[in-house]
Amino acid sequence: MSKYLKYGMLAISLLIGFSNNAMADDEGKALFGQCRGCHAVGADAKHQFGPVLNGVMDQAFMIAGDYDYSAAFNKAGESGLSWTDETMSDFLAAPMSYIPGTKMAFPGVQNEEDRNKIIAYLRLFDTDGKRQDTASDETAALTPVVTEERKLASDFAVPEHGVFKLGRVALTEEINAWDIDVRPDGTGLPPGSGDAITGGELYDAQCASCHGDFGEGTGRWPILAGGHDTLTDDRPEKTIGSYWPYLSTVYDYVRRAMPFGNARSLSDDDVYAITAYLLYLNDEVDEDFELSSENFSDIVLPNEANFIADNRNNEGFRSISIDELCMTNCADDAAVVTQRANVLDVTPDE
Ligand code: HEC
Ligand code: HEC
């Protein structure tokens, strides 16, 4: 075999090794999104509600000496348990039954393959949070680069702009990144699309652990589907299908705030796909439905009509001039008392 062929094969096997790692990285990283609300990994990781998970695999329980573990975890640690593939998988499947009394209030990851991918991702980080694969250090981008000595406000000239002469004018990019609200008529939607099937896959990996496979909610996490015709019950189930007036709120909320702990990690198309899937879970569309910025405003949620505009500013208890409340000299169509508290029986007898 020629020398060059050998090097070539070595390069190919290195490439294969690398792409395997990169795959574990992509999928494991996405799945780790469910954990990120409470846990960090990487060089700059700090304890959050849960401990830093750098180098946790193949270690005894409670790797973070300066983290305040629960009594239940301390007990498990004393019994000499350690984190193997097996114990970690069992723990992640149902943390609260694996270690009763743990403060990791997380329902668990049902799918075994998903658990394995998360474990593979955890294995990428050594105890210092340095990554073992060749991919770039993901926390590097977050580390501020200090290039000059810190200056005081008095070192700077007073800006010319604005009313208060403070700071600098925001860049268009900064305003755009912040200005992401979507209104009921679709104003503010980014271009894009996504179908319910893709949305289902994203949902299973990143949402189902809290919101349930069918949006029914795991434990006490919020319910996202069902509850039709329950609004007049003593305990109404307020879901997207039963209660929410506008689909724009679903898109806006998911894009802004979910998955819990890893907000703004979804692409615009991901959010279209997940929104389409949430419509499907609520029986509003078929499985093969594709939602896009084009057909978005065609969707009307069932409860929209029960939301009415707040018109109190135009009511007659205000004086002729609309800005003032009145006791005398009120507008002509002054408020009419239709019932009294004691008739309604809300006044106590004594
Ligand atoms: C709601 C917050 C929360 C979420 C979500 C969460 N954890 Fe935890 N986790 C904790 C807390 C708190 C502890 C400490 C447990 C204790 O002291 O009882 C913990 C402990 C752990 C430990 C033990 C670490 C050690 O030092 O021995 C591991 C491993 C772990 N979590 C992995 C995960 C993974 C993986 C996920 C995502 C699939 C996850 N956790 C999701 C809060 C959370
Ligand atoms: C770690 C648990 C967790 C994960 C994972 C998660 N969520 Fe949530 N979700 C929450 C919590 C907690 C709330 C309530 C937040 C609040 O009320 O402040 C919530 C609220 C919501 C709501 C609003 C529900 C309502 O009726 O008010 C929607 C919609 C939603 N999540 C969608 C998603 C989607 C889509 C994903 C996946 C991309 C996701 N969530 C992943 C915990 C989670």
Spatial distance between the Cα atoms of 54 and 315, rounded to a whole number of angstroms = 61
Instruction: In whole angstroms, give the CA distance from residue 177 to residue 179.
Output: 6
- Tell me: pLDDT of 246 over 50: yes
pLDDT tens per residue across span 45-99: 989 889 999 999 998 888 778 898 988 888 888 888 889 999 999 999 999 889 9
What is the distance, to the nearest Å, from the Cα of residue 350 to the centroid of all Cα atoms in its chain? 50
For ligand 2, the distance from its centroid to the CA atom of residue 91, given in whole angstroms, is 23
Question: What is the residue-wise DSSP string for 72-94?
Answer: HHHHHHHTT-B--HHHHHHHHH-
Range of lowest pLDDT (25-39, 44-58, 217-231, 233-247): 25-39
Is 125 a pocket residue for ligand 1 (Cβ < 6 Å)?
Answer: no
Task: Give just the sign of the alpha carbon dihedral 104, 107, 108, 109.
Answer: negative
Q: Report which ligand 1 atom has the smallest distance to the Cα of 102.
A: 18
pLDDT over 70 at 240, yes or no? yes
- 327: phi then psi, degrees, rounded to nearest 5: -110, -35
pLDDT at position 321: 62
Q: How confident is the model at residue 15 (pLDDT cuts 50, 70, 90)?
A: very low
For the chain, the structural domain boundaries read 11-142, 193-306, 311-350
Q: Is the peptide bond before 259 cis (omega within 30 degrees of 0)?
A: yes
Q: Which fold has domain 193-306?
A: Cytochrome Bc1 Complex; Chain D, domain 2 (1.10.760)
Within this chain, domains 11-142 and 193-306 share the same CATH topology: yes
Substitution site in 260, 265, 282, 301 for ligand 2 pocket (most atoms within 8 Å of beta carbon): 260
pLDDT (average), residues 138-155: 59
Predicted confidence at residue 199, as pLDDT, reads 98
Give the pLDDT of residue 211: 95
CATH topology for the 11-142 domain = Cytochrome Bc1 Complex; Chain D, domain 2 (1.10.760)
Whether residue 20 has pLDDT greater than 70: no
CA dihedral over 342, 347, 349, 350, signed as positive or negative: negative
pLDDT for residue 252 is more than 80: yes
What is the average pLDDT across 305-327? 71
Distance CA 317, CA 104 (A): 53
The 10s digit of each residue's pLDDT in 271-295 is 999 999 999 999 999 999 999 999 9
